[in-house]
Amino acid sequence: MYLSEPTVRPEPLRASSSIPSPASGLSPVSDVTVAPYRCICRVVAKTRNGHSVGTALLIGPWHALTAAHVIYPLREPYQTTSITVSPGYRGASSRTYDSNGWAVSADWNARDCKTDGFDWGLIRLVSPVPPSIGYWPPSKFDPTLLPGLVCMVAGYPVRPQDPEATKMFQSSGTLKGSPSITRCSRTVRGSVVQASAQGTLVRVTGTSQLIAHDAASEGSMSGGPVWLEGPTRSLVALHVGTIGNGQFRKAVLLTAAVQASIRDLMNKLPPLVKP
């Protein structure tokens, strides 16, 4: 199973084989009501034959940023019928926001993982999140300085005792080079999408699309933020999957060019305010 894809299964639900174990490097987030965790969302995308659970990040009061394949699960690409977003999800008491529109990067293709550098999209909410939740826009940063720095990743993994991914976990690791994908394949077997991306790590430049990291992650954590801790917490990438048979994880760099594309898409998905 492609561990960092959202977990897709037809009804009735079955437990996933994507399981964080105590040795996986993931640790539970003890308080999801504090920054930045209250901005990290559990996403449920319903399709014609089932539903998928993934992760997203509020980047504005009306918009959540996530992986394109969270919006359009690879099991049923481009068949999404509804999306709900729950910031800082912690069970039935959590506030859930319906979506009334979504879009992905025009350069992403669900059937070609060589386009994973464009694996991002936006979800528009029916109503804005309150200031008490807030949002977390991407930072201004120099991508060439990232390799070797410690990063954090957070999201909602599927576990056998929690097949609906209702708990947030996090991990830390080191940022690496930029994955250059040379070969990839995706195979659908029953309700599971098996994906394999192969490539090499090359030097990160100002135009790199992806960056590799070795922070632990599991299924349904795609769309989660990758950030740097420090005096100023910096959001630098969006976790989107694995590469090299799971040797590394890959993330979309939120470069100035990508941030401009995100703003452009936000303008094309303006809030729909009821009169």
Q: Which residues does 186 contact at the CB level (< 8 Å), separation at least 6?
A: 2, 74, 111, 113, 193, 194, 195, 196
Average pLDDT value for residue range 237-258: 91
Distances in Å between the Cα of 51 and the Cα atoms of 8, 84, 214 are 6, 11, 28
- The amino acid that residue 258 corresponds to is V
Domain of 235: which CATH number? 2.40.10.10
Q: Which of 220, 190, 231 is nearest to 73 (CA)?
A: 220
In a domain, 161, yes or no: yes
Q: Is the pLDDT of residue 21 over 50?
A: no
pLDDT at residue 244, as a whole number: 72
pLDDT at residue 43, as a whole number: 98
In a domain, 200, yes or no: yes
Q: Are residues 213 and 249 in the same domain?
A: yes
Q: Which residues does 44 contact at the CB level (< 8 Å), separation at least 6?
A: 51, 52, 53, 83, 84, 86
Could you read off the pLDDT of 156-186 as tens digits, one per residue? 998 888 888 999 999 999 999 999 988 877 6
Instruction: Read off the DSSP letter of residue 223.
Output: T
Q: Which residues does 153 contact at the CB level (< 8 Å), separation at least 6?
A: 170, 171, 172, 173, 213, 215, 216, 217, 221, 224, 225, 226, 239, 249
Helix, strand or coil, per DSSP, at residue 140: coil
Domain count along the chain: 2
pLDDT at residue 5, as a whole number: 36
Q: Are residues 131 and 235 in the same domain?
A: no
As to burial, measured by CB atoms within 10 angstroms (0-12 exposed, 13-18 middle, 19+ buried), residue 164 is: middle
Identify the domain containing residue 229 by its residue range. 143-255
pLDDT at residue 162, as a whole number: 87
Q: Are residues 43 and 129 in the same domain?
A: yes
In a domain, 191, yes or no: yes
